[in-house]
Amino acid sequence: MPRRRVRLCMVATLGAAGLLLSGCANPSTGSADDDPTKPVTLKFWHGWSATSEVKAIDRSIARFEKLHPNIKVQSTGNVSDATINQALRAGGGKAPDVVTSFTTNNVGQYCSSGMWADLDPFMKKNGIDKKKVFPKTLLDYTRYEGKQCASPLLADAFGMYYNKDEFRAAGIKRPPHTMSEMKRDAAKLTKKNGDGTLKQVGFMPSFRLYQNSPDRMFAQYGPEYFNSAGKARLAKEPKTEQYYADMKGITDAQGGFSAMERLRGTFGDEMSSQNGFLTGKLAMHLDGEWRGLMLDEAKAKFDWGVAPLPVPDDQADTYGRGYLTGTVAGIAHSSKHQNAAWELLQFLTMDTKQVVNFANAIHNVPSTFAALKSPDLDADPSFRAFLKIAQNPYSQAIPPSNNGGQYVTTFQDFSYSVEAGKEHDIPAGLKKLDDQIDADNLQSEN
């Protein structure tokens, strides 16, 4: 199963992961006194499971072992966050030394619990200026309260796929840049069956559709989820109500929520040949950089392109931005071989040739400045479009929290109610939402 699908499902398991991490203020203690030039075997656990992805990571490990003949790596794939956290909590000789996670939402927990080692001392010892190695947004989602407990290992950028054939037929000359343009174009691209039901829509804002988690489109507005004291401020953030109003406007321009839901019910699975965009029922669609490879493999029967998602009309100068997330890697605090583990982590996440090769192999966005500029990167235009989104200074990732992504799930549930018309007093609902997020965060601290 492609790793994006794993990440999408991970939100539902964050509660379990949080339970495993809570109460771990004193994790099993490891050591950074080891000599990385001495023979050692490291345990590396990761979440990749697709055959092509596992082969790519195995090639990376083989290159590392050739450069470091004294270090052998036992690589174990398809490992969930919950399994890793259980092992790190228990410690001992069976626990991994280096780990990866597809869930950036959990970085706050990894750092605050002490389960993942602080990487700043290792970087300082090696003279690495992380701000010159990694884009700011990627650093933002790999640290918490000043602690850099994770390193970016490839990134995912979200943009808009669009059906060029449908655009030409509707007389639309370019992808929309603003939300008002999207609303106009979506209406032009909408088609109905003889009975009046929707046959095709321009864009479906539904928060339940595939990758359409509400925080992803919300990133186009540049919101602030928390204030400087760490308190939720979605009720005080004017962009929140603007966001919901824009999404409702786009939905209503194409027939309304109920009609949209009936059409969504005809879509097949996201990763299947009956995907709504692939079958021509969606003319514009939010998705990540991996979708282009899948469209090519499925031999899509229409001409398609990639563009950044639109932005609010009053932020037109930020067009080009997008939502970012990605894989993170860290060193287990319980590892007795942290210096050797650092050699592996540094190679996987900072060696330019390694990052480029891995990015090309699994069609993800490179996570270092040097790799992003490499002439060896895949030259596919759609992939390059996501590289630009990843480097845009306005692009945004969700902020870390001490209870992982619980607040994202709470925001998501509230958004479901809003789009279905069940939340009649949005300002009051947002205040309750903030209170719930703050209560959940406080409970995690105690």
* 436 located within any domain: no
**Domain end position, chosen among 297, 318, 339:** 318
- Do 238 and 151 belong to one domain? no
Contacts of residue 285, Cβ cutoff 8 Å, sequence gap at least 6: 160, 161, 162, 203, 204, 210, 276, 277
Task: Determine the pLDDT at residue 94.
Answer: 87
For residues 108 and 162, which has the higher predicted lDDT (pLDDT)? 162
Spatial distance between the Cα atoms of 173 and 170, rounded to a whole number of angstroms: 9
Q: How far apart are CA 102 and CA 136, in angstroms?
A: 19
Of 381, 348, 345, nearest to 366 by C-alpha is 348
Q: What is the pLDDT of residues 227-245, one digit of tens each?
A: 989 899 999 999 999 999 9
Q: Which residue has the tokens 């929140």?
A: 240
Measured CA to CA, the distance from residue 75 to residue 61 in angstroms comes to: 8
Q: Are residues 167 and 288 in the same domain?
A: yes
Do both 58 and 167 map to the same domain? no
242 lies in some domain = yes
| Percent helix / strand / coil, the chain, rounded to 5 | 45, 15, 40
Q: Is the pLDDT of residue 47 over 70?
A: yes
User: Which 3-state string (H, E, C) describes 166-224?
Assistant: HHHHCCCCCCCCEHHHHHHHHHHHCEECCCCCEEEEEECCCCCCCCCCHHHHHHHHCCC
Whether 130 and 187 share a structural domain: no
Name the pLDDT band for 86 (thresholds 50, 70, 90).
confident
CB-CB neighbours of 280 under 10 Å: 16
User: How sure is the predictor about 355, in pLDDT bands with cuts at 50, 70 and 90?
Assistant: very high
Q: Within this chain, do residues 237 and 210 fall inside the same structural domain, yes or no?
A: yes
Task: Measure the CA–CA gap between 100 and 58, rounded to whole angstroms.
Answer: 14
Look at residue 316 and tell me whether its pLDDT is greater than 50: yes
Q: What is the mean pLDDT of residues 2-12?
A: 42
* 105-142 residue pLDDT tens: 788 888 888 889 999 999 999 999 999 999 998 998 99
Kindly report the number of other CB atoms within 10 A of residue 105's CB atom. Answer: 29
In a domain, 444, yes or no: no
Does the residue 171 lie in any domain? Answer: yes
Q: What is the per-residue DSSP string for 329-369? A: EEEBTT-S-HHHHHHHHHHHHH-HHHHHHHHHHHT-B--SH
Q: Is 407 a member of any domain?
A: no
Q: Last residue of a domain, which of 258, 283, 318?
A: 318
The verdict on 183 and 309 lying in the same domain is yes
Quote the DSSP letter at residue 106. Answer: G
Q: Which residue has the tokens 């400045």?
A: 369
Domain contains 429: no
pLDDT bracket for residue 1 (50, 70, 90): very low
Sign of the CA dihedral running 273, 275, 280, 281:
positive
Is the pLDDT confidence value at 28 over 90?
Answer: no
CATH number of the structural domain spanning residue 71: 3.40.190.10
Q: Residue 43 belongs to what domain range?
A: 3-156+324-391
Examine the fold and report which residue of 353, 373, 391 is the final residue of a domain before the chain moves on: 391
| pLDDT value at residue 7 | 42
Residue 179 lies in a domain: yes
The residues, any chain, with a CB within 8 Å of residue 292's CB and separated by 6 or more, are 161, 306, 363, 380, 382, 383
Distance separating alpha carbons of residues 293 and 301, to the nearest angstrom: 14
Q: Are residues 17 and 112 in the same domain?
A: yes
DSSP bridge pairs for 203: 284
Q: How far apart are the first and last CA of the chain?
A: 37
Does residue 263 sit in the same domain as residue 350? Answer: no
How much of the chain, in percent, has pLDDT values that exceed 70? 93
At residue 446, the pLDDT reads 62
Q: Is the pLDDT of residue 40 over 90?
A: yes
| Residue 434 tokens, joined | 């903030």
Question: Which is higher by pLDDT, 135 or 4?
Answer: 135
- The total domain count for the chain is 2
407-443 b/e (C-beta count within 10 Å ≥ 16 → b):
bbbbbbebbeebbeeebeebeebbeebbebbbebbee
Q: Give me the pLDDT at residue 108, please.
A: 86
Taking the model in full, what pTM does it have? Answer: 0.86
Least confident of 38-42, 111-115, 152-156, 347-351: 111-115
% residues pLDDT > 90 (the chain): 76
User: Are 351 and 234 members of one domain?
Assistant: no
In this structure, are 232 and 369 located in the same domain? no
425 is a domain residue: no
The more confidently predicted of residues 105 and 75 is: 75
Residues 148, 237, single domain; the answer is: no
The secondary element (H helix, E strand) that includes residue 157 is: strand 151-163
Together in a domain, 136 and 172 = no
pLDDT at 432: 97
pLDDT-based confidence at residue 248 (cuts at 50, 70, 90) = very high
pLDDT of residue 404: 65
pLDDT surpasses 70 at 14: no
- Using pLDDT thresholds of 50, 70 and 90, give the confidence band for residue 24: very low
DSSP string over 16-71:
HHHHHHTT-SSPPP--S---TTS-EEEEEE----SHHHHHHHHHHHHHHHHH-TTE
pLDDT for res 8: 42
Band of pLDDT at residue 328, cut at 50, 70 and 90 = very high
In the predicted model, is pLDDT for residue 103 greater than 90?
no
Q: Which residues contact 359 (CB under 8 A, 6 or more apart)?
A: 154, 365, 366, 371, 377, 378
> Cα dist. 384→325, 375, 387 in Å?
17, 11, 5
pLDDT at position 27: 56
* Residue 282: closest CA among 296, 298, 302: 302
pLDDT tens per residue, range 270-306 = 999 999 999 999 999 999 998 988 899 999 999 999 9
Q: What is the mean pLDDT of the chain?
A: 90
Residue 25 has pLDDT above 50, yes or no: no
Over residues 381-397, the pLDDT tens digits come to 888 999 999 999 999 99
Tokens at 332, concatenated: 């287990």
Does residue 23 have a pLDDT over 80? no
